[in-house]
Amino acid sequence: MTRSWMLYGAAGYTGTLIAKHAVERGHRPLLAGRSAPAIAALAEELELPYRVLALDDPAAVLAALLGVDLVLNAAGPFLRTAAPLVDACLNSGVHYLDIGNELQVYRALYDLNERAQRAGVSVIPGVGFGVVATNCLARFVNDAVGGADRLEVASRIACAQAGPGAAATMRENLPFGGWARQNGRLEPQQLFSQATTIVFPDGPHRAVAMPTGDLEAAFRATGAPNVVAYSVQADPAALEAKVPDGDGAASDAYRSFGWAKATGPDGATVEALVQTGDSYAFTAASSVRAVEEVLGAAAPGASSPATAFGVDFPLSIPGTSRTDTVLY
pLDDT confidence of residue 250:
32
Chain mean pLDDT for the chain: 90
Would you kindly state where each structural domain of the chain is located, as residue ranges? 5-127+283-309, 129-279+311-327
Instruction: Give the pLDDT band (50/70/90) at residue 171.
Output: low
3-class DSSP string for the chain: CCCCEEEECCCCHHHHHHHHHHHHCCCCCEEEECCHHHHHHHHHHHCCCEEECCCCCHHHHHHHCCCCCEEEECCCCHHHHHHHHHHHHHHHCCEEEECCCEHHHHHHHHCCHHHHHHHCCEEECCCCHHHHHHHHHHHHHHHHCCCCCEEEEEEEECCCCCCCHHHHHHHHHHHHCEEEEECCEEEEECCCCCEEEEEECCEEEEEEECCECHHHHHHHHHCCCEEEEEEEECCHHHHHCCCECCCCCECCCCCEEEEEEEECCCCCEEEEEEEECCHHHHHHHHHHHHHHHHHHCCCCEECCHHHHHCCCHHHHCCCCEEEEEEEC
Residues 6+ apart with CB under 8 A from 220: 110, 303, 304, 307
Tell me the fold of 129-279+311-327.
Dihydrodipicolinate Reductase; domain 2 (3.30.360)
pTM: 0.91
pLDDT tens-digit series, residues 233-252 = 655 554 444 444 443 333 45
pLDDT confidence of residue 247:
39
Is 167 a residue whose pLDDT tops 80? no
Residues 274 and 124 sit within 8 Å (Cβ to Cβ): no
Question: Per mean pLDDT, which range of 149-153, 233-237, 247-251, 269-273 is the poorest?
Answer: 247-251
Bond into 77 cis (ω within 30): yes
Closest by CA position to 122, among listed 96, 99, 88, 85 = 96
Q: What is the mean pLDDT of residues 95-114?
A: 97
How far is 198 from 165, CA to CA, in rounded Å?
Answer: 27
pLDDT tens-digit series, residues 214-233 = 999 999 999 999 999 998 96
pLDDT tens-digit series, residues 188-210 = 888 778 889 999 998 999 999 99
Is 277 a residue whose pLDDT tops 60? yes
Residue type, 222: T
Superfamily of 5-127+283-309 according to CATH: NAD(P)-binding Rossmann-like Domain (3.40.50.720)
- Tell me what percent of the residues of the chain surpass a pLDDT of 70: 88
Q: Matching CATH topology for 5-127+283-309 and 129-279+311-327?
A: no
Phi then psi for 223, rounded to 5 degrees? 80, 5
How far is 48 from 23, CA to CA, in rounded Å?
Answer: 9
Q: How far is CA 268 from CA 93, 258, 308, 312, in A?
A: 44, 21, 27, 22
